[in-house]
Amino acid sequence: MLIATGIVNGWILSGSVPALIGTDYGWLLLAKVALFVTMVGIAAINRLWLTPRLALTVTSPRRGEALLREPAANEAPAAARTALRALARNSVMEAACSAALC
């Protein structure tokens, strides 16, 4: 609904596609839409890829056994740190996009 009203409002204010590209308002609107799409993409990566990856490395049922028996068990904490760093980096990028939209 928000996207639909934004499209209608942008169409009413700009009038046409050439006016959207040829005016300062149109360029600002396009820049804001690009930032919003970027922010949603980063949020999707965080939600669909990084968060499950972090959850798997932290709450794996075999992790406790692996830490006691296998020397390669140090990979699980390293993978968790990597996922956590990527999640933190992407969260900062998402917040920066959000701040730029205001």
pLDDT at 68 over 50: no
What's the whole-model pTM score? 0.65
Q: Looking at residue 62, what DSSP letter applies?
A: T
Comparing 36 with 67, the larger pLDDT belongs to: 36
Query: pLDDT at position 59, please?
Result: 59
User: In this structure, are residues 14 and 20 in contact, taking their beta carbons and an 8 Å threshold?
Assistant: yes
Q: How far apart are CA 14 and CA 90, in angstroms?
A: 33
Q: What is the pLDDT of residue 30?
A: 82
Distance CA 97, CA 32 (A): 9
